[in-house]
Chain A
Amino acid sequence: AQSVTQLGSHVSVSEGALVLLRCNYSSSVPPYLFWYVQYPNQGLQLLLKYTTGATLVKGINGFEAEFKKSETSFHLTKPSAHMSDAAEYFCAVSDGILTGGGNKLTFGTGTQLKVEL
C-alpha cells in the first residue's frame, strides 16, 4: 500500500520569497511521484513528475522537486513566489502500471499556498 503525507495544510509566503511545500511518501516499490496544482474552479494540472533518472525534476512555472530516496521525500520548491502561485498543491504517488496500462495515483491531502504582498 502506498501513502503520501503533506506537512502543512496551509503555507503562507511573501511575494518573492522561497516556496517550500513538503511531501513524504511510503511505497513498497520504486515510486513514480507527481505534483499537481489546483486553481479555484479548475481541474488538477500536472506541475512535474519523477519516474526514473535525474532526481531533480523541473516543472512548469518555475517549480522543481527533488526525489530523495533515503528520506522518502519529494519536496516542491520555487525560488521566488508570485501572486499567481496561490493555489492548492497536491503530491501524489503511483506504484507504476495498472493492469492494462495506467497509473493509479494516491494523493496527499493537499497544501493551500497563500502568497502575500
Chain B
Amino acid sequence: GAGVSQTPSNKVTEKGKYVELRCDPISGHTALYWYRQSLGQGPEFLIYFQGTGAADDSGLPNDRFFAVRPEGSVSTLKIQRTERGDSAVYLCASSLRGENTEAFFGQGTRLTVV
C-alpha cells in the first residue's frame, strides 16, 4: 500500500478482555516499530522489529503485552487481560533499515478499555 495501515482505527473492549491490533507496513520496509500515545503525551516506544525478530522489546510495559511479525511484514500487537490504563492510541511505524532512514507512521488504533 501507499502508507502504513493500522486496523482497526478504533477498538472498544471490556476490562479483562484480549485484543489484537494489526499493522501493515510499507512494502519493502524491514524495520517496524510500535509506540503508545496516551492522552496529552508524546508517543512512547514499545517494541522494534527488524525482519521477523523483535530486536528491542524494552518498551513493553509488562508481560500482558506481546507482538509478533511472523513473515517479516504484517505485525500484530497483542494485549491480554486489558486494563483501563491500557487505553491509548497505539501507533505503528515502518522504515528501511539504517540509522538515517525516515520512519513513516500509521494513523494509529485508538484503544478504549471500559
Contact = CB atoms under 8 A, between A and B. Distances in A.
Interface of A: 4, 9, 32, 36, 41-46, 49, 51, 90, 92, 96-110
15 contacts: A36-B105, A43-B3, A43-B104, A43-B108, A44-B43, A44-B93, A51-B99, A100-B53, A100-B56, A101-B50, A105-B35, A105-B45, A107-B42, A107-B43, A109-B41
A101 B55 CA distance: 9
Contacts of B20: none
B79 to A, nearest CB: 21
B31 interface: yes
Interface of B: 3-4, 31, 33, 35, 40-45, 48, 50-51, 53, 55-56, 59, 91, 93, 95, 97-108
Contact of B42 (A42, A98, A102, A109): A109
Nearest 10 A/B pairs, CB to CB: A107-B42, A100-B50, A100-B55, A43-B105, A44-B105, A101-B97, A97-B99, A43-B107, A102-B31, A99-B55
B30 to A, nearest CB: 8
B108 to A, nearest CB: 7
Interface majority SS on B: helix, strand, loop or mixed?
Answer: loop
Nearest to B98: A101
Contact of B40 (A98, A99, A105, A109): A109
Interface majority SS on A: helix, strand, loop or mixed?
Answer: loop
Given A98-B55, A102-B48, A107-B44, A45 B97 contact: no
A51 B101 CA distance: 10
A108 B43 CA distance: 8
Contacts of B101: 103
Contacts of A49: 100, 102
A43 B106 contact: yes
A111 B62 CA distance: 29
Given A41-B107, A45-B105, A46-B102, A98 B91 contact: no
A102 B3 contact: no
Contacts of B3: 43
